[in-house]
A and B are shown apart, each in its own frame.
Chain A
Amino acid sequence: MRCDFADSLLQGYFDGELSGRRAAEFERHLRHCVYCVTELVDLDLLRDSLELAQLYEPATASLRRKIKINVSLHAIAPTTAASRPCLWHWLAAAAALLFVVSVLGRVGQMFNRDDYQAELAGEIVDAHLRSLQSGPMTGIASNAEGDIKGWLDGRAGFAVPVRDFTNEGFALKGGRVDVIEGRAVAVLVYQRNGRPINVFIWRTREQDSPRRTGSRQSFQWVDWRKGKMEFCAVSDADPMDLEQLHQLMNSSA
């Protein structure tokens, strides 16, 4: 015979959800009810086998990564002065690191700075590769400076210098927002002789600096800072082309 208590009290008792008074009441009932005792044993066996089977399926690392990127893309700060120090928190941390290093010696400073630069360039080249491999390269496809600027400024949280250099052989194709070191950065997409060039732009507190260049995985990069912004252009185009684009942007910014 099924017992009336089986649906309500028995489950609550088994799950430890009954108040002390009701649990005691149910235990008194258990002394006389074979049905409920058997049911409790069955429930226990069921829970054991569920536990042994390890049915819980956690998210994969790649899903986790995708979600983190989505969240970062979503979390672009409004352009209030108060939030900027947070947005560029990692740059502040890098600056602090550089300060410590500079105390240790100028040579050390140069070395570590280059290390940091190489790591950053690595991330940017990866982002460049991602843009070539999957989906559209541009969040906004346009050659109108104003349209791209309007689209980017709101998302990047600062005034992005957008210039078209079609006449000089670098056609502006559009812009997008990407994630570097967990932060959103603005990207301008140019085309030169059919090859795409990504220019990553983010705010910095550092002084202006002349260009630095490097290559990684057969991609060239040129990095420079001007007007509290850091620029990094990446492409598999001719290094001379990148150099020329750097000069165009540097003189117009």
Chain B
Amino acid sequence: MNKRYLLSLIAVIVLFLISYLGVEAVPGSKWLFGIVIPYAALIVFVAGFIRRLLTWSRSAVPFAIPTTGGQQKTLSWIKPNAIDNPSSKGAVFVRMLLEIVTFRSLFRNSRMKLREGKISYQLEIFLWVGALAFHYAFFTVLFRHLRFFTDPIPLPVRLVEDLDSFFRMEILQDFIQIGVPGVYLSGLVLLAAVTYLFLRRIFIRNVNYISLASDYFPLFLIFGIAFTGIMMRYVLKIDVTAAKQLAMGLVTFRPNIPQNVSSIFFVHLFFVSILLAYFPFSKLMHLGGIFFSPTRNMRADTRAVRHVNPWNYPVKVHTYEEYEDDFRDKMIEAGLPVDKMPEPQEAAAEEEEEPAAPPQEPPADAADAAAEPEEKE
């Protein structure tokens, strides 16, 4: 039905099969999935990310075009909106910080409804909540994973872990035991948020209409990452020590493949590698892009301080002299001051001898035709 999301789903399933079957069936392929691909993906990520930032920074910023979302700073007795119409670097910093940390613009979101000829707008908070939940959960999960790359585990990481597993949940059955080890909220929130972001692309008609394969693919991939992670921790209960040994090997550049690393771990790692390598070439670069957005990161004091355009070039203008040449007689007749008062006879002579009119002067009928549409107004 919807080719775009089916293809993305198939792509992620294929990636799963490649890694799972690869590790299971091809001897020696653990080196490929556990060491070669992660390193390669990381290199692509870092190089690609930096390259993209450089491309953006090489593009000029000719004009200061902040979107002003509040009262400008003018008269002393009018209270300016310092954050949404920032006139200092500090205020821009605050605006950007709130944008990045709280998704402030998205918080404005409303939903339009047309009922019985009346339009109303309601606060639409779900997208904001979903986006915030997704990003913070993802960040927390990422941060927690530092425990696999550090020895000893730094205090902040342990604190976050404690906080994350603050809410204890225990489901103890024969076939499934959740709660031992402690449940991390972030993983579940991440899974739920990804699911929400996916479902809104399916069920909100207009969002569905604009969604591309590249909108679904990262959602499926991240779902896959979170799902395999949760499976490993709570259901399959893989050998965590072995996993950490592999991770430590990678960060200390002494890569090795320990025994007892289960196949699902390689799938998890492969998904992460794909995400990393895909990142710089995709919309996920909004992570870096937001810092470069001229409607948000520029001061709005554009009349007080001059912004310089690096490629400002001279343009052809119609000078006052040319204008007066066009209309001098009419101006004089109307009593308007002129810069160049012609001698009466000279003026008459000039007028007759002027078949070589300046090229920018259109024939009289052009001016007439030009003036015509306005009269309709």
Q: Do A and B come from one complex?
A: no
The interface of chain A, by Cβ under 8 A from chain B, is: none
The interface of chain B, by Cβ under 8 A from chain A, is: none
